[in-house]
Amino acid sequence: MDETAQRQENPQVQPQEQGAQEAGAARSRRRRGRLIGCLVPILLVVGAWAGFRAYWGHKVRGQLDAIRAQGLPVTLEDLNAWYPTPAGRNAADVYLDAAAALVQPEKGEIDLLPLVGNANPPARGEPMPAEVLAAARALLGKNRQVLGMLHEAAGIEECRYPVDLRHEVPTALLRRLQGLRDAARLLALQARALRQEGDTAGAVGAVADMLALARSLEKEPFLLSQLVRIAIMQMAIRAAEQNVSIAQPPDGQIAALDDALRAAEAPDGTWRGFVGERCIGSAVFQGKGFGAELEWPFLFRALRWTGVRGADHSAHLRLMSEAMDASREPLPERIRRGRDLEAEFGRLPFFCLLTKMLLPATERTISEDCKLLTRVRAARVGMAVERYRLAHGTLPETLADLVPDYLAETPLDPYDGKPLRYKKLEKGYVVYSIGPNDTDDGGDESSDVTFIVAR
């Protein structure tokens, strides 16, 4: 029997009881309203969170699929296969054996020797003192076998260093690159000593071996490897300056240096480095990269749980792809893009924590690559000047005198698009670019990008 029927049968029901029941019902409705009022925001937050995670997860998957469609690596396994091992002889095997066998200067020689020690090298065109030359000869004698291996490796075309990119590599990579830099310094010392002793062919061969050593790194998918390649190239060009400043090389040796410089330009080296950095970054975001998740476990859990990791990962993929594109831009646009990218990195949202930690020094890397390409251009013009001097017995008045017999055209300055500058000095000449400060400082090697012959 319902409540109304009971009231009709029992008219004695007190009005208070009816009021109490209605008050209880009102309280229940208010409690339900408060519960719904609490649940709705929670459900909205959960829905927004799930949507946020789903959106960025979908976005990252789309970006990775687009990379795969370009035939480029996405995972560390892909990257390992993208950096293939040669089917035939591998120059890396010989280079690594040479680096492992290299004899370092003894304690008493470190402060005496330039290049391989702490002593400053003599000024351009100046010989080493007799005591220093004797110490250099002694060290080179101890490393005769190593120098032979470096020369052997320079004649092997294919090179792939044995680093498994699927596992821990930073320590092994740093150790290997240090060994290669030490080998390049030894070759630089050999070039200087042989040139001073009058062995021009041997000196040119040592510089060519340095350039081949740099070229062995051009396919490495690490920016650090590319920076070491650039450093070895710069060292080799300084050695070439010194060689040409001491005495006039024969025409065949000048041509050999020019060929070695052209072969070692590696225009895609930095691009390959960015490809590798993008893969390594993706592995870190997914907790598969070199122990990063073990090093920062709470950060990775928080980023994964909140969904911020997807947005962060997407930003990293986008910026690294833009860096790759920038590294292939024609000069001088490449330089401007590098600067713009660095500014964009500084505007990243606060939640892009891993991207900020993982992004390389893009502007510096692109800038160093551009300076190297500029110095190679200047050095090759220097080789043309030397061939002109050998044929005519005098320096050219302008670079136009080199066209078309020694240069097809005057190379352009990558920084402003104008022809490279050339200036006779009191002793020798300088070929130069205005450099990254965009100011013509008259061939000042502290600010312009130069190739100087002091003879």
What pLDDT, in 10s, does the model give residues 69-82?
999 999 988 999 99
Token pair of 327, please? 């590294």
Domain stop point among 203, 230, 257: 257
Domain stop point among 238, 257, 276: 257
* 302 lies in the same domain as 201: no
Kindly report, residue by residue over 212-228, the tens digit of the pLDDT. 999 999 999 999 999 99
Burial group, residue 361, by CB count within 10 angstroms (0-12, 13-18, 19+): middle
Residue 151 structural domain? 85-257
Strand pairing partners for 422? 431
Summarize the confidence of residues 54-74 as an average pLDDT.
Answer: 92
Q: How many domains does the chain have?
A: 2
Token pair of 102, please? 């290299």
Strand pairing partners for 453? 429
Q: How confident is the model at residue 1 (pLDDT cuts 50, 70, 90)?
A: very low
Q: How confident is the model at residue 170 (pLDDT cuts 50, 70, 90)?
A: confident
Q: How confident is the model at residue 294 (pLDDT cuts 50, 70, 90)?
A: very low
Least confident of 102-111, 326-335, 387-396: 326-335
Burial group, residue 50, by CB count within 10 angstroms (0-12, 13-18, 19+): exposed
- Could you give the angle at the alpha carbon of 71 between the alpha carbons of 55 and 163, nearest 5°? 100
Phi, psi of 119 (to 5 degrees): -75, 145
In a domain, 98, yes or no: yes
- Could you give the angle at the alpha carbon of 43 between the alpha carbons of 41 and 46, nearest 5°? 110
The per-residue pLDDT for 339 is: 85
- Tokens 């002694």, residue located: 138
* 240 lies in the same domain as 143: yes
The per-residue pLDDT for 179 is: 97
In a domain, 93, yes or no: yes
Least confident of 34-48, 267-281, 309-323: 34-48
* 122 lies in the same domain as 249: yes
In a domain, 391, yes or no: no
Q: Which residue, 72, 83, 77, 78, is CA-closest to 317? A: 72
Token pair of 185, please? 């310094």
Rounded CA-CA distance 30/407 in Å is 91
* 247 lies in the same domain as 217: yes
Kindly report, residue by residue over 31-44, the tens digit of the pLDDT. 776 766 676 677 66
* 236 lies in the same domain as 297: no
Rounded CA-CA distance 8/452 in Å is 117
* 211 lies in the same domain as 301: no
In a domain, 250, yes or no: yes
* 240 lies in the same domain as 118: yes
* 119 lies in the same domain as 232: yes
More confident residue, 30 or 266: 266
Q: How many CB atoms lie within 10 A of CB 183?
A: 26
* 69 lies in the same domain as 126: no
**How far is residue 206 from each of residues 184, 256, 342, 367, 384, measured CA to CA in Å?**
9, 12, 38, 27, 20
* 180 lies in the same domain as 222: yes
The per-residue pLDDT for 70 is: 96
Q: What is the pTM of this model?
A: 0.86
Summarize the confidence of residues 182-189 as an average pLDDT.
Answer: 98
Contact 422, 430 (CB under 8 A): yes
